[in-house]
């Protein structure tokens, strides 16, 4: 078993449209479009902003553009004791699934 297979994952179809997720993309990616209830904490800032993670009784999804950075975030957060899951396919999969996006202008991930 490789390290990636041990990372908890969820698909965009398993997440409700109004799910609170943690978006670890860079500010310019966030500005281009994000899930309406997402919390933006860029991957590099996660250790110093860990107290901003949402309190939830359910597993919290973590997302980036395609799933690589969020997988690293999930791996680290699980080690810290958080109940999180990597959103497979990231925001690209979110947009392709027709889920809501919000942005200052015309939201687009792809």
Instruction: Show which residues are catalytic.
Output: 64
For 3, counting Cβ atoms within 10 Å of its Cβ (0-12 exposed, 13-18 middle, 19+ buried), the class is exposed
Q: How far is 66 from 86, CA to CA, in rounded Å?
A: 10
Task: Give backbone dihedrals phi and psi of 28, rounded to 5 degrees, phi first.
Answer: -70, -35
Q: How many residues does the chain have?
A: 110
Report yes or no: 67 and 91 within 8 Å, Cβ to Cβ: no
Tell me the β-bridge partners of 84: 60
């Amino acid at each position: 078993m490789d390290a990636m297979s041990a990372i908890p994952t969820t698909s965009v179809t398993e997440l409700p449209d109004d799910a609170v997720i943690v978006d670890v993309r860079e500010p310019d990616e966030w500005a281009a479009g994000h899930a309406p209830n997402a919390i933006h904490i860029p991957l590099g800032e996660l250790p110093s902003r860990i107290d901003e993670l949402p309190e939830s009784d359910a597993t919290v999804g973590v997302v980036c553009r395609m799933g690589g950075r969020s997988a690293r975030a999930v791996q680290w957060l699980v080690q810290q004791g958080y109940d999180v899951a990597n959103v497979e396919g990231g925001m690209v999969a979110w947009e392709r699934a027709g889920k809501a996006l919000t942005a200052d202008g015309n939201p687009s991930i792809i």
